[in-house]
Amino acid sequence: MAHETIHPALPFFQMNTNRRRESREPSQVQRLFRQLVREWLWISLVLLPLTALLSYRAQINLHGAAPVMGAMLSVGLVACVLGLLLWRPRWALWITLVGMAGVLLTSAGLAEMRRWWSPTPTVLGMLFGYLIWNWRRLSVVLTYFGWELTRLDGEPKVFPERRRTQFTGADRLQGQIMALEQAMSRTRDTRRFIADGLEYLPVATLISDPKGQILLGNRKARALFDTALVGDDVLDQLGRLGYPELSTEPRPALSALPLLEFRDHKERSLRLERAALLPVDGDTPIGWLLSLTDLSAERAAEEQRSVLLRFLSHDLRAPHSAILALLDVHRHQAGADAPLFEQIERQVRRALDLTDGFVLLARAESETYQFQPTLFAMLVLDVLDQALPIAQQKRIELLHDMDEESQERLINADQGLLTRALFNLLENAIKYSPADTTITLRVRCREEWLHCELIDQGKGIAADELPDLFSQYRRFSSAQGIDGVGLGLSMVKAVVDHHGGKIECRSVVDQGTTFLLELPLIHE
- Per-residue pLDDT at 226 exceeds 80: yes
- Per-residue pLDDT at 191 exceeds 80: no
pLDDT, position 367: 57
Residue with the bigger pLDDT between 305 and 390: it is 390
Cα(298)–Cα(78) distance, rounded to whole angstroms?
78
DSSP state, residue 213: B
Residue with the bigger pLDDT between 190 and 226: it is 226
Q: Across residues 283-298, what is the average pLDDT?
A: 83
DSSP SS3 for 258: coil
pLDDT, position 489: 80
Average pLDDT, the chain: 77
> Quick check: 483 and 501 in contact, CB under 8 A?
no
List phi, psi (to 5°) of 400. Answer: -135, 145
Helices (DSSP H) in 200-275: which residue ranges? Answer: 219-225, 234-241
> Quick check: 287 and 215 in contact, CB under 8 A?
yes
Instruction: Name 274's bridge partners.
Output: 290
- Per-residue pLDDT at 488 exceeds 60: yes
Give the model's confidence band at 17: pLDDT under 50 very low, under 70 low, under 90 confident, else very high. very low
- Per-residue pLDDT at 283 exceeds 50: yes
Q: Across residues 356-361, what is the average pLDDT?
A: 62
Give the model's confidence band at 474: pLDDT under 50 very low, under 70 low, under 90 confident, else very high. low
Cα(75)–Cα(52) distance, rounded to whole angstroms?
6
> Quick check: 238 and 247 in contact, CB under 8 A?
no
Q: Across residues 262-283, what is the average pLDDT?
A: 82
CA distances from 304 to 1, 297, 300 (A): 20, 10, 6
Cα(256)–Cα(268) distance, rounded to whole angstroms?
24
Q: Across residues 35-51, what is the average pLDDT?
A: 82
Give the model's confidence band at 65: pLDDT under 50 very low, under 70 low, under 90 confident, else very high. low
pLDDT, position 10: 40
Cα(192)–Cα(199) distance, rounded to whole angstroms?
10
pLDDT, position 43: 81
Cα(201)–Cα(10) distance, rounded to whole angstroms?
14
DSSP SS3 for 285: coil
| Most confident stretch, 248-257, 347-356, 405-414 | 405-414
- Per-residue pLDDT at 362 exceeds 70: no
Residue 171's closest CA among 142, 135, 213?
Answer: 142
Q: Across residues 406-435, what is the average pLDDT?
A: 87
pLDDT, position 16: 41
Query: What's the distance, CA 500 to chain centroid?
Result: 19
The residues, ordered by sequence, that sit 6+ positions from 120 with a Cβ below 8 Å of its Cβ are: 54, 58
DSSP SS3 for 155: coil
Q: The whole model's pTM is what?
A: 0.46
Q: Across residues 231-248, what is the average pLDDT?
A: 82
pLDDT, position 28: 64
Torsion of CA 264, 266, 268, 273, to 10 degrees: -30
> Quick check: 149 and 164 in contact, CB under 8 A?
no
CA distances from 361 to 289, 473, 486 (A): 38, 11, 11
Beta strands in 160-221 (DSSP E): 204-208, 214-217
Cα(413)–Cα(444) distance, rounded to whole angstroms?
17
Cα(261)–Cα(167) distance, rounded to whole angstroms?
55
Q: Across residues 279-286, what is the average pLDDT?
A: 78
Q: Across residues 23-39, what is the average pLDDT?
A: 67
| Most confident stretch, 106-115, 366-375, 410-419 | 410-419
Q: What is the 3-state secondary structure (H, E, C) of 333-373?
A: HHCCCCHHHHHHHHHHHHHHHHHHHHHHHHHHHCCCCCCEE
pLDDT, position 29: 65
Helices (DSSP H) in 274-414: which residue ranges? Answer: 296-310, 317-334, 339-365, 376-393
pLDDT, position 23: 43
pLDDT, position 453: 92
